[in-house]
Amino acid sequence: MLVLEPPDGDRTPDGLADEFEVAARLPLTPRMEQLDEALRHWRPRLLLCKLRLDQLDERLVAVCLARNVDILVLAHPVYGLLQPARLRRFGGLPWLRLRPARSGEQRIKRTLDLTVTLLGMPLLIPLLLLITVAAGLGGPPLYVQERVGAGGRRFRMVKFRTMHPDAERDTGPALAGVDDDRVTRVGRLLRRFRLDELPQLWNVLRGDMSLVGPRPERPEFVASFRDLPHYELRHSIRPGLTGIAQLTGGYAATVEDKLRCDLLYLHCRSLRLDLLLVLLTIAELFRGFPRG
């Protein structure tokens, strides 16, 4: 086993040597050739990285996968949303095993999206009609906005209007906040239970979105977020109606917090995790999202 230490010298104490034969402890370096050489020399089965997911270079993941080396990263509190079976404890520290996407899984995920959406539609149609009437007081009930999806492709996302029709007339594009005074009275109720997102089931049927994945952002915001490390990885899969960031942070979460959650999903996604997140979302719909 190899252990990859952070470059800043701040090493978290561990008892890994008491449980494993640690072949070497390596500092993280930007030169992947050095890591590849170490993997060829030591031929480890495990590489334990004392890094957060947002610090993990995708080239490092690619090198390890090419050498059939399992990668584990230090787990953080938000990772507890995953099933406990995904977490391991080595050397007195919690670890999360990264899981590469399996072949054909995206096709099955798409089938799951269509099946769940079509089966739920008969139950949702009366609710959609009721919300259309309520959201239509004082303006159009639906709001169409350009968002960035898989591969950086732009698409038109539809949702129920929750703000005043001229909400961005003076400010221009602006991220929504927890107590946003642009939100209408009906809009606050819709946002509380995330009912404003229901029209995006149309985007799921069209293939623009999935039920679970990173939330799609507006092109104006994507352009300003591109400097964040690994931000573009969010566009490697379809954006989602719900996800880890939506369940843990809500409108109060920072861009960095949301990105960490999205990277967690990208590295650990599975059909089982998708089903878990859908069930947790349904539970939150009945309770009302406490984070706004």
35-74 residue pLDDT tens: 889 999 999 999 999 887 777 777 888 888 889 999 998 8
Look over the chain and give the mean of its residue pLDDT values, rounded to a whole number: 86
Q: What is the rounded average pLDDT of the residues 121-127?
A: 93
State residue 83's pLDDT score.
57
Give the pLDDT band (50/70/90) at residue 130: very high
Tally of structural domains, the chain: 2
Q: Which domain holds residue 36?
A: 2-97
State residue 209's pLDDT score.
97
Find which of 59-73, 86-100, 136-150, 249-263 is predicted with most confidence, using mean pLDDT.
136-150
* Whether residue 234 sits in one domain with residue 113: yes
Cα–Cα distance measured from residue 179 to residue 234, given in angstroms and rounded to the nearest whole number:
27
Does residue 72 sit within a domain?
Answer: yes
pTM: 0.81
State residue 174's pLDDT score.
65
Find which of 8-12, 53-57, 84-88, 263-267 is predicted with most confidence, using mean pLDDT.
263-267
Share above pLDDT 90 across residues of the chain, in percent, rounded to a whole number: 39
* Whether residue 233 sits in one domain with residue 117: yes
**Residue 94 vs residue 84, higher pLDDT:** 94
Give the pLDDT band (50/70/90) at residue 79: low
State residue 177's pLDDT score.
59
Residue at a domain's end among 74, 97, 120: 97
* Whether residue 129 sits in one domain with residue 147: yes
State residue 160's pLDDT score.
95
Residue 282 pLDDT exceeds 80: yes
CATH code (residue 24): 3.40.50
**Residue 144 vs residue 251, higher pLDDT:** 144
Does residue 292 sit within a domain?
Answer: no
Residue 94 pLDDT exceeds 80: yes
Does residue 162 sit within a domain?
Answer: yes
Does residue 281 sit within a domain?
Answer: yes
State residue 182's pLDDT score.
85
Buried b (16+ CB within 10 A) or exposed e, 208-244: bbbbbbbbbbbeeebeebeeeebbebbbebbbbbbbb
Q: Strand, helix or coil at 71?
A: strand
Residue at a domain's end among 97, 129, 144: 97
Give the end-to-end CA distance of the chain in Å, rounded to a whole number: 44
Does residue 184 sit within a domain?
Answer: yes
* Whether residue 71 sits in one domain with residue 54: yes
Residue 231 pLDDT exceeds 70: yes
* Whether residue 148 sits in one domain with residue 88: no
* Whether residue 93 sits in one domain with residue 109: no
* Whether residue 265 sits in one domain with residue 121: yes
Cα–Cα distance measured from residue 177 to residue 249, given in angstroms and rounded to the nearest whole number:
12
145-190 residue pLDDT tens: 999 999 999 999 999 999 888 776 666 666 665 667 788 899 989 9
Residue at a domain's end among 32, 62, 97: 97
228 contacts 255 by C-beta, under 8 angstroms: yes
